[in-house]
């Protein structure tokens, strides 16, 4: 058998082992659990160390394991931040424009606000109110304000009661922050954002779902206009 064919077979076997281990991790694994030593995996799959190591590299690239020298491989939860950066790169490569980004913000954030207005607790609203108080600080740096602004919307999604909705908003973090930051530099943008965040919060705290949804739409419509002003789009 020539070298090219052996390399191909080895790669195919590594992929098969990685796929089987991935299924086990996703179906019954827990973050922090030890996957097993290389020797154990070699014996289990009747494979060489080279094949097993390549399988572990595949799992590491998928964000499912972390290797510790002298200890073995351990299961980890995929990092949403890595996924968020990947989504941002795809959006740039595919030339997806700001209008599409705002449409997604409309649907995700309006749904989250409606959900929280319907089911939110005092603990939820107290946590959001604490973010709003910090946003009133005029001495915040751009990065601090950006993190708090996005954090307000992300917290609404996280407290909405829908974990998938929260995950989707978190996955869009890099993209949403990129459009949010333009409002910080537009004249009156900071004051307007503070007022509109407060309106969203007040509607949710009154458990007025329809009003909360409308306030989100109005806030994001103004945010879109700020984006267009910042980039000179007409």
Dump pLDDT digits (tens) for 63-77.
Answer: 999 988 778 899 999
Assess whether 71 and 114 both reside in one domain. Answer: no
Buried b (16+ CB within 10 A) or exposed e, 155-177: bbbbbbebeebbebbbbbbbbbb
Question: What CA–CA distance (Å, rounded) separates 142 from 151?
Answer: 14
- The domain in which residue 51 lies consists of 3-75
Assess whether 68 and 163 both reside in one domain. Answer: no
Assess whether 98 and 184 both reside in one domain. Answer: yes
Question: What CA–CA distance (Å, rounded) separates 81 from 180?
Answer: 17
Assess whether 127 and 202 both reside in one domain. Answer: yes
What was the pLDDT predicted at 133? 97
Convert the pLDDT of each residue in 2-37 to its tens digit.
565 566 566 799 999 999 999 999 999 999 999 988
Question: What CA–CA distance (Å, rounded) separates 18 from 23?
Answer: 9
Assess whether 40 and 128 both reside in one domain. Answer: no
What was the pLDDT predicted at 11? 73
Assess whether 22 and 39 both reside in one domain. Answer: yes
Predicted TM-score (pTM) of the model is: 0.85
Assess whether 128 and 226 both reside in one domain. Answer: yes
What was the pLDDT predicted at 8? 53
CB 209 within 8 A of CB 193: no
Is residue 69 left, alpha or beta, with left meaning phi > 0 and alpha meaning psi from -120 to 50?
Answer: beta
Q: Which of 75, 100, 117 is the last residue of a domain?
A: 75
Assess whether 60 and 88 both reside in one domain. Answer: no
Assess whether 144 and 38 both reside in one domain. Answer: no
What was the pLDDT predicted at 83? 92
Which pLDDT tens digits describe the chain residue by residue (234 residues)?
556 556 656 679 999 999 999 999 999 999 999 998 899 999 999 999 999 999 999 999 999 999 887 788 999 999 999 999 999 999 999 999 999 999 999 999 999 999 999 999 999 999 999 999 999 998 999 999 999 999 999 999 999 999 999 999 999 999 999 999 999 999 999 999 999 999 999 999 999 999 999 999 999 999 999 999 999 997
Q: Which of 12, 40, 75 is the last residue of a domain?
A: 75
Assess whether 158 and 211 both reside in one domain. Answer: yes
Q: Which of 60, 75, 90 is the last residue of a domain?
A: 75
Q: How far is CA 215 from the centre of its chain?
A: 23
- For the chain, the domain total comes to 2
What was the pLDDT predicted at 69? 79
CATH number at residue 208: 1.20.120.530
What was the pLDDT predicted at 70? 78
Assess whether 66 and 107 both reside in one domain. Answer: no
Assess whether 223 and 151 both reside in one domain. Answer: yes
């Amino acid at each position: 058998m020539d070298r090219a064919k052996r390399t191909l077979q080895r790669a195919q076997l590594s992929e098969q082992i990685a796929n089987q281990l991935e299924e086990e991790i996703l179906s019954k694994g827990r973050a922090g659990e030890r996957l097993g030593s290389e020797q154990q995996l070699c014996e289990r799959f009747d494979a060489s160390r080279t094949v097993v190591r390549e399988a572990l590299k595949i799992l590491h690239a998928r964000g499912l394991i972390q290797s510790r020298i002298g200890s073995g491989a351990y299961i980890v939860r995929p990092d949403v931040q890595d996924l968020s950066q990947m989504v941002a790169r795809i959006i740039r490569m595919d030339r997806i424009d700001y209008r599409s980004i705002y449409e997604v913000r409309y649907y995700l954030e309006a749904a989250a606000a409606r959900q929280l207005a319907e089911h939110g607790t005092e603990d939820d609203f107290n946590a959001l109110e604490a973010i709003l108080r910090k946003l009133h600080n005029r001495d915040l740096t751009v990065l601090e304000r950006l993190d708090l602004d996005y954090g307000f919307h992300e917290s609404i999604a996280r407290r909405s009661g829908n974990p998938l909705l929260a995950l989707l908003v978190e996955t869009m973090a890099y993209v949403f922050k990129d459009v949010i930051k333009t409002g910080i530099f537009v004249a009156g943008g900071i004051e307007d954002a503070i007022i509109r965040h407060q309106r969203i919060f007040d509607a949710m705290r009154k458990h007025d779902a329809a009003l909360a949804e409308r306030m989100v739409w109005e806030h994001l419509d103004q945010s879109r206009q700020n984006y267009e002003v910042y980039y000179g789009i007409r």
